[in-house]
């Protein structure tokens, strides 16, 4: 029995086999690893997309904030410039962060800009460039929206000091002039006509200029439509003549350049034979006639440099027939004399008229044969005005108006401390020697016997730019600087 068991046990042991390896166990492991890798990729992708989305969202948010801040800079400039002193660059101290930089231009259009506030410059436009910053910057390297720039351009009315500005040439003669003897017209402060500061001696819109026997023009001569005749006369600078130039006698000279249709001379060696003469060269435009009227209700156009208005006084015919110092006195204050109800104004011969202040006289005509002087050490301004009440840009002299006449007794003289401006749609007429410091703006001159010693001194007219032929109805009251409409706004990007 023992053997049986032994044999059985041996059989049983020999019959028992080792377990076979499970080939599917490796496949399962690969599947598990694959799942882990895919899960990791998905996780990384989700994280990357999340970060990109967060960066994009934060950049977009930053761009909106920066854009709003930049626009706020333009709005802040518009709101503050008229109540606070203008600063060239301003940075906000609030949560809305921007830096605004100011520029100004002297031109109505174009791209010519100067850095800084306009100040007293005659600016026509103001530009502000505002750079806004986001209050919350972009994340994850998305910084493109952190700043934005906006440009705003405004019209601008510059500050204008009260008072009467000196503009225009020494003589503006719409219809021309004839100098018969020893006249001298000096505009010595002028420069070349192309210079912005030039003051020409004579401007003629539509007429001829003729001179004889020693007349000298110490300045430029411009004749837009008309001819120039020089007979023993000198133009000591340049001449622009829309018509022909005729030089007679050896002393007829033009020291500068000459532009004209034709140049002829009765002698050799004249400017006509040099390169300084340009045939059919360009002629500067002479401004149209400015019609300067008078409001009889009040001298609303006349203001001193400190902004105080001129006084007003109306004369009777008796006063107009014998003008004296006391009649036109303003008691030391600037005054406008209204003599428009009179037939004209004249003064007793050989009687000096003394001024203690700036004086304006409106009259239909003037007749003088006496000197004008100053009673103080100061230089005073004097305006003789025959108004033109016909707004047609041409001199209109009604039948009841007359010339500014200088008598034949050689007594009309303006003292060195009296500068006078003559405005008349009629004529200037001188029967004998005359001395004038100031300006003339007249239709023309129909008589100049003997000597006229004319020296330029700038006076101008209130509210009128005689250099350009433009007017300002406000006169000489001046004006505060004013920011105008926003004419353009654009995004400049970052």
Do both 466 and 487 map to the same domain? no
Say what the pLDDT of residue 44 is: 61
User: Is 137 found in the same domain as 77?
Assistant: yes
Q: Are residues 89 and 184 in the same domain?
A: no
Query: What are 221-241's pLDDT values in tens digits?
Result: 999 999 999 988 888 889 999
Query: Do residue 269 and residue 149 come from a single domain?
Result: no
User: In whole numbers, what is the pLDDT of the chain averaged over residues?
Assistant: 82
Please give the full DSSP string across 33-90, using - where no structure is assigned: HHHHHHHHHHHHHHHHHHHHHHHHHHHHHHHHHHHHHHHHHHHHHHHHTTTS---SEE
- 210 falls within a domain: yes
CA dihedral 64→67→73→75, nearest 10 degrees, is: -80
Report whether pLDDT(401) > 70: yes
* Rounded Cα–Cα distance for residues 237 and 252 (Å): 13
Q: How is residue 260 written in tokens?
A: 């004209």
Answer whether residue 6 is part of any domain.
Answer: no
Q: Give the C-alpha separation, 292 to 462, whole Å.
A: 10
304-350 pLDDT per residue, tens: 988 899 999 999 999 999 999 999 998 999 999 999 999 999 998 87
Q: Is residue 37 part of a domain?
A: no
**358 inside domain:** yes
pLDDT at 271: 92
Asked whether residue 152 falls in the same domain as residue 52, the answer is yes
Q: Are residues 145 and 184 part of one domain?
A: no
462 lies in the same domain as 489: no
Q: How far is CA 13 from CA 10, 21, 269, 335, in A?
A: 5, 20, 149, 147
pLDDT of residue 411: 72
3-state secondary structure of 98: strand
**pLDDT value for 326:** 92
User: Do residues 304 and 432 share a domain?
Assistant: yes
- Cβ neighbour number for residue 54 with a 10 Å cutoff: 14
- In this prediction, residue 197 has a pLDDT band, given cuts at 50, 70 and 90, of very low
Structure tokens that stand for 35 in this block: 């799942």
For residue 51, the tally of other CB atoms under 10 A from its CB is 14
Residue 366 predicted with pLDDT over 90: yes
Residue 275's CB: how many other CB atoms inside 10 A? 7
- Residue 277: inside a domain: yes
Is 51 a residue whose pLDDT tops 60?
no
d(CA 487, CA 125): 9
Q: State residue 58 phi and psi, 5-degree precision.
A: -70, -35
Identify the pLDDT of residue 56.
47
| d(C-alpha 474, C-alpha 301), whole Å | 6
What local confidence, expressed as pLDDT, does residue 13 receive? 46
pLDDT at 52: 55
**pLDDT on residue 79:** 83
Residue 334 covered by a domain: yes
Q: According to the model, what pLDDT value does residue 300 have?
A: 67
456 forms bridges with which residues in the sheet?
Answer: 438
Question: In this model, does residue 59 exceed pLDDT 60?
Answer: no
Structural domain span for residue 155: 44-159+482-493
pLDDT number for residue 316: 95
* Alpha-carbon span 286 to 11, nearest angstrom: 140
Say yes or no: 155 and 239 in one domain. no
The pLDDT of residue 342 is: 96
Domain total of the chain: 2
Question: Predicted confidence band at 196 (pLDDT cuts at 50, 70, 90)?
Answer: very low
Structure confidence at residue 198 (pLDDT): 62
| 267 and 136, same domain (yes or no) | no
Within 13 Å, how many C-alpha atoms sit on residue 386's CB side? 29
Q: How far is CA 292 from the centre of its chain?
A: 22
Inside any domain, residue 3: no
Whether 487 and 418 map to the same domain: the answer is: no
Q: Give the global pTM.
A: 0.73
Both 73 and 183 in one domain: the answer is: no
Q: What pLDDT is attached to residue 33?
A: 73
Q: Where residue 142 falls among pLDDT bands split at 50, 70, 90? A: low
pLDDT digits (tens, 9 = 90+) for 64-90: 777 788 888 888 888 887 667 888 888
pLDDT of 428-452, one tens digit each?
888 777 788 899 999 987 666 667 7
460 inside domain:
yes
| Listed residue (345, 341, 313) closest to 328, CA to CA | 313
Here the tokens at position 46 are: 């989700």
Q: What is the pLDDT of residue 137?
A: 67
Looking at per-residue confidence, does 8 or 354 come out higher? 354
What per-residue confidence (pLDDT) applies to 483?
87
Asked if the model's pLDDT at residue 290 lies above 70, the reply is yes
Is the pLDDT at 172 greater than 90? The verdict is yes
């Amino acid at each position: 029995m023992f053997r049986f068991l032994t044999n059985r046990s041996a059989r049983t042991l020999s019959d028992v086999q080792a377990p076979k390896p499970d080939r599917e166990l490796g496949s399962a492991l690969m599947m598990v690893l694959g799942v882990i890798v895919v899960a990791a990729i998905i996780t990384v992708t989700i994280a990357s997309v999340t970060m990109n989305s967060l960066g994009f969202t934060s950049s977009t948010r930053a761009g909106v904030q920066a854009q709003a801040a930049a626009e706020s800079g333009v709005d802040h400039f518009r709101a503050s410039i008229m109540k606070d002193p203008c600063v060239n660059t301003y940075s906000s101290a609030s949560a809305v962060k921007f830096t605004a930089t100011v520029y100004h231009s002297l031109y109505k259009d174009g791209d010519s800009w100067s850095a800084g506030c306009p100040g007293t410059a005659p600016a026509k436009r103001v530009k502000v460039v505002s750079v806004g910053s986001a209050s919350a910057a972009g994340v994850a390297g998305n910084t493109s929206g952190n700043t934005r720039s906006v440009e705003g351009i405004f019209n601008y009315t510059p500050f204008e000091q009260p008072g009467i500005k000196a503009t225009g040439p020494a003589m503006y003669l719409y219809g021309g002039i004839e100098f018969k003897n020893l006249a001298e017209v000096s505009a010595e402060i002028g420069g070349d006509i192309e210079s912005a500061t030039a003051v020409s001696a004579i401007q003629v819109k539509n007429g001829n200029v003729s001179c004889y026997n020693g007349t000298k023009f110490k300045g430029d001569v411009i004749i837009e439509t008309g001819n120039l005749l020089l007979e023993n006369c000198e133009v000591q600078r340049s001449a622009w003549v829309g018509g022909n130039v005729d030089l007679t006698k050896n002393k007829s000279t033009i020291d500068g350049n000459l532009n004209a249709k034709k140049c002829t001379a009765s002698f050799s060696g004249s400017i006509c034979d040099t390169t300084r003469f340009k045939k059919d060269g360009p002629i500067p435009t002479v401004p149209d006639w400015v019609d300067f009227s008078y409001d009889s209700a009040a001298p609303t156009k006349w203001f001193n440099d400190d902004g105080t208005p001129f006084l007003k006084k109306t004369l009777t015919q008796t006063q107009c027939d014998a003008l004296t110092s006391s009649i036109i006195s303003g008691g030391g204050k600037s005054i406008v004399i209204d003599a428009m109800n009179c037939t004209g104004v004249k003064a007793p011969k050989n009687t000096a008229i003394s001024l203690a202040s700036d004086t304006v006289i409106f009259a239909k005509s003037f007749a003088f044969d006496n000197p004008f002087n100053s009673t103080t050490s100061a230089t005073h301004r004097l305006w003789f005005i025959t108004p033109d009440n016909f707004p047609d840009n041409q001199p209109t002299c009604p039948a009841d108006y007359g010339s500014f006449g200088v008598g034949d007794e050689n007594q009309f003289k303006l003292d060195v401390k009296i500068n006078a401006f003559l405005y008349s749609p009629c004529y200037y007429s001188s029967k004998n020697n005359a001395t004038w410091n100031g300006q003339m703006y007249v239709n023309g001159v129909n008589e100049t016997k003997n000597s006229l010693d004319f020296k330029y001194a700038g006076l101008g007219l209130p509210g009128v730019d005689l250099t350009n032929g433009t007017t300002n109805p406000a006169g000489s009251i001046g004006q505060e600087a004013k920011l105008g409409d926003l004419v353009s706004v654009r995004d400049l990007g970052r």
